[in-house]
Structure 1
Amino acid sequence: MPKEKKPAKKRFELGENETIDACLARIKAEGYLPVRKVEEPIFRETVENGSKRIEPVGKKVSFDTKLLKTEH
């Protein structure tokens, strides 16, 4: 019986209370290799005295990965 075909590329997001090492271990366990780390800032917009103010409140970390080639 053939295995399900995995996508060649996949993006993994770092969990809220997950370490980078734990995320990399999860990536490896699923058979992928990280090729790029992406950090995106998260902003919050507040209004003070009639003016809008944008302030950073965190960041979202994700990894772009590619499927490891396996030999049969």
Structure 2
Amino acid sequence: MSKKKKERFEVKESETIEQCLERMKSEGYVPIRRIEKPIFEERTVNSNKEYVPVKQQIMFEGLLVESEQ
């Protein structure tokens, strides 16, 4: 089975960015883009809905190294 040319890697809850980059490297990918998305939580205050940022989701898009193809 051949690998995809581009793959997305999410930084897991108990993982550092450095560990995620090492995981990418061990699978044969090089990071080409960093994607950050805020995660919101809906809270009701005095019958008004508020969306409060809770955490940040970090993902890296990786490109397959030429020698791995």
| TM bin (shorter chain) | over 0.9
1:42 matches 2:39: yes
TM-score by length of 1: 0.90
The answer for unaligned runs of 5 or more in structure 2 is none
Give, in whole Å, the separation in 1 of the partners of 2:7 and 2:33. Answer: 11
Percent identity at matched positions? Answer: 44
Aligned-pair CA distance for 1:24:
0.4
The answer for unaligned runs of 5 or more in structure 1 is none
1:58 matches 2:55: yes
Aligned-pair CA distance for 1:38:
0.6
RMSD: 1.1
TM-score by length of 2: 0.94
* Structure label with greater radius of gyration: 1
Higher helix share: 2
Match of 1:23 in 2: 20
